[in-house]
Amino acid sequence: MSYSPIHTQMNAVVRLDPAGQKDTVAMSGPRNSILDTVGQTPIVRINNIGPKHVTLYAKLEAFNPLGSVKDRFALAAIETAEANGTLKPGQTVIEATSGNTGIGLAMVCAAKGYPLVVTMAENFSVERRKLMRFLGARVILTPAAEKGSGMIAKAEELAEKHGWFLARQFENEANADMHSRTTAQEILNDFIEIGLDYWVSGFGTGGTLKGVSRVLRAESPNTKIVVTEPDNVPILSSGIAQERDDEGRPSVSHPMFRPHLMQGWSPDFIPKLAQDALDADVIDAYQPIAGSDALQASRDLAQKEGIFCGISGGATFAAALKLAETAPEGSRILAMIPDTGERYMTTPLFEDIAETMSDEEMEISRSTPRYRFDISGGTAIDAPEEEAKPHATAFVEKVLAEQPVVMFALEWCEFCWSVRKMFAEAGIPYHSVDLDSVALQDNNLGGDIRVVLRNLTGAPTIPQIFVAGKHIGGATETFDAFNDRSIHDRLTEAGVAFDADMQRDAYSFLPTWLHPR
Ligand code: PMP
C-alpha cells in the first residue's frame, strides 16, 4: 500500500512532506496555516436518539475548516501533485465536483496561490456555488440532465484545452490514501480502548470508503463495514457491473442510477475508488435509506443532539439507526457525517423551516406589549421635537439646490442599499449624503442633518430621497414612485438622463426578508 499508517496524536495534524511524501506531524500551538487544521475531527457519542442496547457515535467532518470531509482530499490532491511534480507553481487547478470538493479545493488553492476552476451540475445547491466564488474560484455550471458524468467530461475537456491540473477525485489514489492516513487512524485511536463493531458510510467518490475500510479490515478486523445507498439507487448493492471503456473509465450511466436527494453521494456510475472497495471484498453489509428518513435523521440530530449536518450525514445516521435495531446488545456503531447543514438552506432539508413567525411564535410575541408587528407604533421611539441647527439647515439647502437627485442615507442600511441598487440598474445618477459616514461625524453634522430632515419631511426614517429639491419620500415611496413612473416625470423635468425603459418591480430590489409583497 502506498500510504503509511501512523497514529496521530491529540492536537496534531497530518501533512505530506512536499519532498518525500512522508507524513509529518505538526505539534500543537499556533498552526502554520489553515491547511494545518484539516482532519482530526471529533467523534461524538449520541445520547438522545436510538435504542438503548447499543451506543451510536458520529464522526463530524464538518469540523474541517471548510466544513466537509472533502477538505481532506483537497489538501491531499494538491500536496501529492506538488510532491510528484504534476502540479506546477501557479498552474490552474480544475475539478468536477458536487460542491464540497470544490469548496475544499478553493480553500487549499487560496492558501497556496493556485487559480481554481470548478465544473458543477446546475442542480447542486446555490450556496455551494456562492461559497466557491467567495473563496475566489470560478464555477462553470453544466446541465443537470447530463448528471455527474457531464460535469466530469466538461472538466476533462477544459483541462486538456488549457493545460490545467485536473484533480480527478473519483480515481485519484491520493483521495483514498489520505483517508487511510488520517480518517482511519483517527477512528482507530478513538476506539482503541473500547472497540468498534460497525462503521457506516455512504460513498460519493468512494475515497472515504476505500481509504478507511482497508485500514479497519487490517487493523480492526472485528469492525463490520456497512455501506449505505439511497434506496432508489442501489448501485453497489445491485451487483450489476459498471460498463467501462478500454481504460477502465465508466462509459455509460449505471442502469440502477436515478436522481436522488443525497447531494455528494452515489453518482450515476461506480467510481474507480468505490470499485476498488467492492473488489477488495471488505463490505460486510448494505443499508438502503429513503430520502425522507435521511431528512428526518438530519433534523433529529439537530434538534435532539445539537449536531448540525447535511443530507448525506442524515442518511448515514438513518442507516446507523436501522442497523442498531438488530445489532447485538452492547454494539458500538459509528456513522460518518460528511458535512454541515448550512450548505442546504435552499434544498428540501430546509423545506419545512419557515421564515415567518408561526402561531406559537406570534403568541410569544404578543405576550409582552412592545416591539410587535400587530400593533402600530410598537417600535417607534418617541423623540421630542428638536430645533434644527443653522449649519445643518444650510448644508441641506445647499445640497438640494446643487444636486438634481439626492439620497440622505446610511452606509449599510438595507433600505438604502436597495434604493442604490434600483438607481444603479435604471442608470439614475444620484448624490448620496451618508449620515453615518466618517466625513459627517465632525460636530455630529450627520445627526444634525437628521433633525433637519425630520422637520422638513415629517419622517423619522432614512433614506429620504429628493429630486430637483422636491421630496419624493423614503424607500417605499421611492419604489412606489418608480413603479407608477411618477419619478420618471420628475427626473425628465429635472433634465436627468436615465434608462426609462427599465421595467423591474422596484420592490424586487429589497432583500427577501424586507420584501413586503
Ligand atoms: N457526502 C457529501 C455531502 C459529499 O460531498 C461527499 C463527497 N462527494 C460524500 C458524502 C462522499 O465522500 P467520498 O467522496 O469520500 O465518498
User: Looking at the structure, do residues 213 and 277 belong to the same domain, yes or no?
Assistant: yes
Range of the domain at 423: 390-514
**345-385 per-position pLDDT tens digit:** 989 999 999 988 999 999 999 999 988 877 654 444 455 67
Bigger pLDDT: 302 vs 15: 302
User: Looking at the structure, do residues 339 and 420 belong to the same domain, yes or no?
Assistant: no
* Inside any domain, residue 373: no
User: Looking at the structure, do residues 394 and 501 belong to the same domain, yes or no?
Assistant: yes
Nearest to 335 by CA among 511, 208, 231, 507: 208
> CATH number, domain at 232?
3.40.50.1100
Q: Measured from the CB, is residue 72 less than 6 Å from ligand 1?
A: no
**C-beta neighbour count of 370 within 10 angstroms:** 9
Under 8 Å between Cβ of 283 and 219: no
Q: Measured from the CB, is residue 344 less than 6 Å from ligand 1?
A: no
- Ligand 1, atom 6, lies closest to the CA of 264
Ligand 1: residue of 312, 342, 343 to mutate (most ligand atoms within 8 A of CB) is 312
User: Looking at the structure, do residues 342 and 442 belong to the same domain, yes or no?
Assistant: no
pLDDT band for position 9 (50/70/90)?
very low
State the DSSP code for 182: I
Q: Measured from the CB, is residue 183 less than 6 Å from ligand 1?
A: no
pLDDT above 60 for 173: yes
pLDDT band for position 1 (50/70/90)?
very low
Mean pLDDT of the residues in the chain: 92
> CATH number, domain at 510?
3.40.30.10
Q: Measured from the CB, is residue 182 less than 6 Å from ligand 1?
A: no
Residues 6+ apart with CB under 8 A from 65: 34, 37, 38, 71, 107
* Inside any domain, residue 360: no
Boundary (domain end) residue, out of 353, 374, 403: 353
pLDDT above 50 for 6: no
- State the pLDDT at residue 22: 45
The secondary structure of 246-297 as a DSSP string is TTS-B-S--TT----S-TTS--SS--HHHHHHHHTT---EEEEE-HHHHHHH
pLDDT above 80 for 12: no
- State the pLDDT at residue 23: 53
Residue 272 CA to residue 377 CA, distance in Å, equals: 65
> What is the β-pairing status of strands 13-16 and 23-26?
antiparallel
pLDDT band for position 514 (50/70/90)?
low
Looking from the CA of residue 169, the nearest atom of ligand 1 is 14
* Inside any domain, residue 177: yes
Secondary structure (3-state) at 324: helix
Q: Measured from the CB, is residue 250 less than 6 Å from ligand 1?
A: no
User: Looking at the structure, do residues 229 and 305 belong to the same domain, yes or no?
Assistant: yes
User: Looking at the structure, do residues 198 and 75 belong to the same domain, yes or no?
Assistant: yes
pLDDT above 90 for 256: yes
Boundary (domain end) residue, out of 329, 353, 377: 353
* Inside any domain, residue 399: yes
Helix (H) or strand (E) holding 421: helix 414-425
User: Looking at the structure, do residues 344 and 396 belong to the same domain, yes or no?
Assistant: no
Q: Measured from the CB, is residue 264 less than 6 Å from ligand 1?
A: yes
User: Looking at the structure, do residues 348 and 394 belong to the same domain, yes or no?
Assistant: no
- Average pLDDT estimate for 203-222: 98
- Ligand 1, atom 11, lies closest to the CA of 204
Looking from the CA of residue 312, the nearest atom of ligand 1 is 1
* Inside any domain, residue 138: yes
Nearest to 467 by CA among 517, 435, 513, 419: 419
* Inside any domain, residue 12: no
Ligand 1 center from residue 244 Cα (angstroms):
22
User: Looking at the structure, do residues 131 and 46 belong to the same domain, yes or no?
Assistant: yes
* Inside any domain, residue 14: no
Q: Measured from the CB, is residue 204 less than 6 Å from ligand 1?
A: yes
pLDDT above 80 for 58: yes
- State the pLDDT at residue 123: 86
User: Looking at the structure, do residues 297 and 442 belong to the same domain, yes or no?
Assistant: no
Q: Measured from the CB, is residue 208 less than 6 Å from ligand 1?
A: yes
Ligand 1: residue of 208, 214, 270, 347 to mutate (most ligand atoms within 8 A of CB) is 208
- Average pLDDT estimate for 110-136: 93
Ligand 1: residue of 72, 100, 124 to mutate (most ligand atoms within 8 A of CB) is 100
Boundary (domain end) residue, out of 353, 380, 411: 353
Q: Which residue has the cell 437628521?
A: 450
- State the pLDDT at residue 372: 86
Under 8 Å between Cβ of 150 and 142: yes
pLDDT above 90 for 234: yes
Looking from the CA of residue 336, the nearest atom of ligand 1 is 10
**454-502 per-position pLDDT tens digit:** 999 999 899 999 999 999 999 999 999 999 999 999 999 999 999 999 9
> What is the β-pairing status of strands 138-142 and 165-166?
unpaired
pLDDT above 90 for 283: yes
Bigger pLDDT: 248 vs 186: 186
* Inside any domain, residue 501: yes
Percent above pLDDT 70 for the chain:
92
Domain count, the chain: 2
- State the pLDDT at residue 382: 52
User: Looking at the structure, do residues 344 and 473 belong to the same domain, yes or no?
Assistant: no
Q: Measured from the CB, is residue 50 less than 6 Å from ligand 1?
A: no
- Average pLDDT estimate for 172-200: 98
- Ligand 1, atom 8, lies closest to the CA of 264
Q: Which three cell numbers stand for residue 170?
A: 473519483
Looking from the CA of residue 100, the nearest atom of ligand 1 is 5
Q: Which three cell numbers stand for residue 287?
A: 443499508
User: Looking at the structure, do residues 63 and 178 belong to the same domain, yes or no?
Assistant: yes
- Ligand 1, atom 12, lies closest to the CA of 204
Burial class from Cβ neighbours inside 10 Å (0-12, 13-18, 19+) for residue 480 reads middle
Ligand 1: residue of 125, 181, 205 to mutate (most ligand atoms within 8 A of CB) is 205
Catalytic residue annotation: 70, 312
Ligand 1 center from residue 118 Cα (angstroms):
16
Angle at 425 between CA 467 and CA 459, to 5 degrees: 40
